Structure 1
Amino acid sequence: IRYHASPMSIFNGDVLFACPRPAGGMQILVGDFTGHGLPAAIGAMPVAEIFYGMTSKGFSGSDVLREINQKLCRILPVGMFCCAAMIQADFHLNQLQIWNGGLPDGVLLKRNGKSETIASRHLPLGVLGTARFDARMEVFRTEPGDTLLMMTDGVLEAENHRGEMYGEERLKRSLDVAGNTGSPFDAVMTGIHAFTGKQPEQDDVTLLSLEMVEESELEGVSERLPQSALEGPAEWHCVYEIQDRSLGQFSPLPLLLHICMEVPGLRRKSGEIYTLLSELYTNALEHGVLGLSSEWKATPDGFGRYYAERELRLQSVSDHFIRFTLTHTMTAQGGQLTIVCEDSGSGFDYGDVSDAGNESGYSGRGLMLLRKLGHSLTFREYGTRVEIVYDWHFSEVAAREGSTNT
């Protein structure tokens, strides 16, 4: 991530937040509140609290947007709002999910020289009530080396000494100069500075550049998530079941992760725990309850069909459930977390995925990941019951914390 943030005054109406997700990847929010200075900055603190708090617990970008919008509708005076873009970057799936509400069009610059426009398709945050607010995010397929540029309107409205604005055409020319070899971020900043000269800025200016990278380059980033200062239970058993329409409206993952993170030794394992919970829940929901086929995601067209069909089937889910049973015990070396995930689907032939080297089985990418992270992985009852045992050790936690403190 590279960024430029230049406020007109001490207090900034533009906001830029970024936080690693427990499941891996990053969540980023770019915002531009109405006006300048202190009045425009008032909304920044509650937005920051919601963004970092919910992202670190595993909530999706859409969930965070709904909560921020509801908060701003309550606290902002009439006529004030926040133009914003939410970016959810997944470096494992090589995709971006983006919501743009009122910011200038962003640009996704492909490594092969092509580009995609990230258009604003929503009203700003703090305008619509909960019932009318649309938090759906667009999905963009990417490759390592692709670069996303997002900006506030201060970039396009930067003026020279003649009162002319930088504008979209000059922005495009700056990106053309960058070509396939130069940095788009540097090209735009150079273009703005050459155009405005020493002219004072007329607005807060924020420019964000996000480069997609190989997932291996981000190993351990989730360990920087904020941790609770409270001590929690070490020996416990929990059963949580989600049913029928709630399967399409609510994700139990943040709640389950929060319960697990109450164990002090597990707090530094949040990324791995979330991955286990997420893979189990996604497989149970998409392949068990909804009956979707992973083979559809083998092609770009099939990928779109898969998620379109997923949304369609979620609207009519009935007489189904997904049940999590979690048990944690302490051991001499650390602790053991046993996770059992059951669903009401028709199951599958789990004998076809018994080979750990087969990535196209139960969850595609997930099976090898589950086997790698867990001490054991067991399928039962025609694949509708999956049990995984996760062992953690005090020495690993201490070593990671010592490395972080250093």
Structure 2
Amino acid sequence: MRQQGLRVLVVDDAQSQRVVLEVMLRQMGHTPLLAESGREAIELFREHVPDVVLVDVVMPEMDGFETVRILRSIARHWVPLVFVSGKVENQSIVQGLQCGADDYLVKPINYYILEVKLKALSQRIQMTNQLAVQNRRLADYKEKSEDESRLAQEFMRRLAAFDKICDPLVNFHLLPAEDFSGDLIAVARTPAGQLHVMLADSTGHGLTSALAVMPVLQPFQVMSLKGFSISAIAEEINRKVREYLPQNRFVATILLSLDTENRMIEVWNGGCPPPILLNPEGEVWCKFASTHLPLGILPAEQFDDVVERYCYGERPCQMVMSSDGAVDCADHTSLERGMESLLDSARGVAPDGRLGAMLTMLDSRLATLESRDDIALIFVDCPVNVRADLLPAQAAHPVMDGDGSAGCVTSEIEWQFALTLTAPQLKRLDVVPLLLNLVNQIEPENAGVAGKLFLVMSELFNNALDHGLLKLDSTLKHDSTGMERYYEQRISRLKQLEHGEIFIGLEKVCSGSGMNVRVTFRDSGDGFDHASLCEATQDVDERRHGRGIALVQSLSHSVEFLAGGAEVRVTLPLA
């Protein structure tokens, strides 16, 4: 209550009653406002907005009932309206309360009863005012929160860029449990045309969960565009999550790499339901169970970046990736039953209709769920016939030189650098993306050639490592099981590698043919029969080995094999 008391409007046509109430109110510390009619009371009410109104029932022209109804209709906030009347009939009291009054006092007014009534009303006024202030604060907070939520949603929508995921091999659906999703889907292509897909699921859901999953997006996109493998990407994301998120936050993640050229699938699964590979009939071909902890749990020295590989051979197939929210929604009793329910809904359905079939089943489950998690589903087509628009651009008029003579031209070197890697570095470094990034920093105006340069360096590096140092037999790649044996031998021999080195040289040269990048790879191995392999290019599309050399030749001005094949020098046009 204010120190000066309440402002009390007294409405009574009898002057004696007005005087009595005025004296009582002043003695109580209140400020009286006097009106002798209902119309005068309405004018004073609008002008002074009193805290309490005391109204007589029986008055000429406008009685107390009509006066109270009008005062209640024009009040901008709650004002206690109290009848003061000599009419003691129950009907009058009921009628007074029904027309909008808050209390009914009977004349003659008892001083102490009036004082107690006004004290009680003062407390109610104070509480009402406090409630109004709190309501205004809540409304302001709600408006501010909604503005911030809209801004955060727009920021995350642009950052995640789901509307820009338009790869023809990928189809997905993302349904957040709240306004923000803790599930994240990302798709990128490497310079060599390999498809990278990521499904990340942070703990919980809502804004906190959505913020926790953001650190995984940039390294995935940037490293994919630079050509890093998914094992290197997983290792970097793990470092980022541990660096930026609290210890109780981690991100379950699936990283998938699809090489349609070699029909090879690579999967790194840390804490997510197993991706499922479906054959053309919708039956399960392969499951990639989680063999790793979610990202952000292990320190770098304990992190395991090993991927699982599968060669799908001569029949097209489809990979299904799901978050735990989708599996729980399908059947919350167990992971196995949830996965089986998802797969049952798509069994016998054509590949382009399987996502829709799963969503129809999940919609029916959602209707009966009291609470749920974010839901994410991704379908990735794994084709046999590689579409032309999914392949990296090749040189329009390649010039190849298998005997080394064409590479001997007068040239001026603008810049050059060299790097020699020994066994310890070869075991752990993803070399080609690092070199490509360095070239892009030196030659930003020639970034358009990055795809071709990546392909050339990848082929030369893999050739030097696989055949020069590890002595792998490329003919193993001829069939699907051989491809898997090839990768198994590669991993095993690389772990056992103790000696050997690869020299890498890059230089920009200006010659009669224009501006070029000259790439040199030299390994410490015994070389290989490059001449016979170069001659056998007519059936290169019919076999799954030896195609790398043909690709390098098609992209380059010249290719030289030196030291019995242990050294390869390639000249690549910058234009």
The answer to whether the superposition gives a TM-score over 0.5 is yes
Distance 1:209 1:334, change over 3 A: farther
Q: Which range moved further: 256-265 or 364-373? A: 256-265
Question: Residue 475 of structure 2 corresponds to which residue in structure 1?
Answer: 295
Question: Residue 384 of structure 1 corresponds to which residue in structure 2?
Answer: 566
CA offset at residue 216 of structure 1? 2.8
C-alpha distance in 2, partners of 1:377/1:278?
Answer: 15
Larger RCO of the pair (alpha carbons < 8 Å, separation 6+): 1
Distance 1:210 1:362, change over 3 A: closer
Asked whether the 8 Å contact 1:352–1:361 carries over to 2, the reply is: no
Question: Residue 435 of structure 2 corresponds to which residue in structure 1?
Answer: 256
C-alpha distance in 1, partners of 2:570/2:545?
Answer: 14
- Cα RMSD of the aligned pairs, angstroms, is 2.7
Question: Residue 206 of structure 1 corresponds to which residue in structure 2?
Answer: 376
- For structure 2, the 5+ residue unaligned runs are 1-169, 395-412
Distance 1:167 1:113, change over 3 A: closer
CA offset at residue 304 of structure 1? 2.7
CA offset at residue 265 of structure 1? 4.2
Q: Which range moved further: 317-326 or 81-90? A: 317-326
Q: Which amino acid aligns with 2:427?
A: G
Distance 1:306 1:367, change over 3 A: same
Question: Residue 501 of structure 2 corresponds to which residue in structure 1?
Answer: 321
C-alpha distance in 2, partners of 1:168/1:45?
Answer: 27
* 1:368-383 → structure 2 map (5 Å cutoff): 368-383=550-565
* 1:260-279 → structure 2 map (5 Å cutoff): 260-262=439-441, 263-279=443-459
Distance 1:222 1:100, change over 3 A: farther
**Equivalent of 1:19 in 162, 178, 188:** 188
Distance 1:276 1:101, change over 3 A: same
CA offset at residue 164 of structure 1? 8.3
String of CA shifts for 1:293-329, please: whole Å, max 9, x gaps.
Answer: 1122223333233222222221232331111111113
C-alpha distance in 2, partners of 1:86/1:32?
Answer: 12
Distance 1:281 1:209, change over 3 A: same
C-alpha distance in 2, partners of 1:202/1:245?
Answer: 47
**Equivalent of 1:243 in 408, 411, 422:** 422
Matched, 1:42 2:222: no
* 1:122-201 → structure 2 map (5 Å cutoff): 122-142=292-312, 145-158=316-329, 167-178=338-349, 180=350, 183-197=353-367
Q: Which amino acid aligns with 2:481?
A: D
CA offset at residue 363 of structure 1? 6.1
Asked whether the 8 Å contact 1:4–1:207 carries over to 2, the reply is: yes
Q: Which amino acid aligns with 1:209?
A: F
> TM-score, normalization: structure 2?
0.61
CA offset at residue 186 of structure 1? 1.8
Q: Which range moved further: 131-140 or 354-363? A: 354-363
Q: Which amino acid aligns with 2:414?
A: E
CA offset at residue 25 of structure 1? 1.4
CA offset at residue 84 of structure 1? 1.1
Question: Residue 342 of structure 1 corresponds to which residue in structure 2?
Answer: 522
Q: Secondary structure at the match of 1:342?
A: strand
Q: Secondary structure at the match of 1:327?
A: strand
C-alpha distance in 1, partners of 2:269/2:333?
Answer: 26
Distance 1:362 1:44, change over 3 A: closer
Asked whether the 8 Å contact 2:232–2:430 carries over to 1, the reply is: no
C-alpha distance in 2, partners of 1:269/1:196?
Answer: 49
C-alpha distance in 2, partners of 1:81/1:41?
Answer: 12
String of CA shifts for 1:21-79, please: whole Å, max 9, x gaps.
Answer: 11211111101100111221222222112111221111110111111112222332233
Mark the structure with the bigger radius of gyration. Answer: 2
String of CA shifts for 1:251-298, please: whole Å, max 9, x gaps.
Answer: 211111112223134312222111000000000000001111112222
String of CA shifts for 1:335-391, please: whole Å, max 9, x gaps.
Answer: 211111111001112221231436499961201101111111111111011111111
C-alpha distance in 2, partners of 1:80/1:220?
Answer: 39
Matched, 1:80 2:249: yes
Q: Secondary structure at the match of 1:188?
A: helix
Q: Which range moved further: 341-350 or 190-199? A: 190-199
C-alpha distance in 2, partners of 1:181/1:236?
Answer: 51
Asked whether the 8 Å contact 2:282–2:346 carries over to 1, the reply is: no
**Equivalent of 2:538 in 357, 362, 365:** 357
C-alpha distance in 2, partners of 1:352/1:220?
Answer: 27
Q: Secondary structure at the match of 2:574?
A: strand
C-alpha distance in 2, partners of 1:354/1:11?
Answer: 55
Q: Which amino acid aligns with 1:321?
A: E
Q: Secondary structure at the match of 2:489?
A: helix
CA offset at residue 244 of structure 1? 2.3
C-alpha distance in 1, partners of 2:571/2:521?
Answer: 12
Q: Secondary structure at the match of 1:345?
A: coil
Asked whether the 8 Å contact 2:190–2:225 carries over to 1, the reply is: yes
Q: Secondary structure at the match of 1:93?
A: coil
CA offset at residue 249 of structure 1? 1.6
The structure with the largest helix share of the pair is 2
Q: Which range moved further: 195-204 or 265-274? A: 195-204
Q: Secondary structure at the match of 1:168?
A: helix
**Equivalent of 2:387 in 216, 220, 239:** 216
- For structure 1, the 5+ residue unaligned runs are 224-233, 394-406
Asked whether the 8 Å contact 1:98–1:139 carries over to 2, the reply is: yes
**Equivalent of 2:287 in 83, 105, 117:** 117
Q: Secondary structure at the match of 1:208?
A: strand
Distance 1:368 1:289, change over 3 A: same
Q: Secondary structure at the match of 2:209?
A: helix
CA offset at residue 212 of structure 1? 1.6
> TM-score, normalization: structure 1?
0.86
Q: Which amino acid aligns with 2:298?
A: L
Distance 1:153 1:339, change over 3 A: same
Asked whether the 8 Å contact 1:242–1:252 carries over to 2, the reply is: no
Asked whether the 8 Å contact 1:149–1:185 carries over to 2, the reply is: no
* 1:33-112 → structure 2 map (5 Å cutoff): 33-111=202-280
Distance 1:352 1:177, change over 3 A: closer
Question: Residue 399 of structure 1 corresponds to which residue in structure 2?
Answer: none
C-alpha distance in 2, partners of 1:320/1:164?
Answer: 54
CA offset at residue 9 of structure 1? 2.1
Question: Residue 402 of structure 1 corresponds to which residue in structure 2?
Answer: none
Q: Which range moved further: 297-306 or 163-172? A: 163-172
Question: Residue 28 of structure 2 corresponds to which residue in structure 1?
Answer: none
CA offset at residue 221 of structure 1? 6.8
C-alpha distance in 1, partners of 2:549/2:272?
Answer: 39
Q: Secondary structure at the match of 2:343?
A: helix
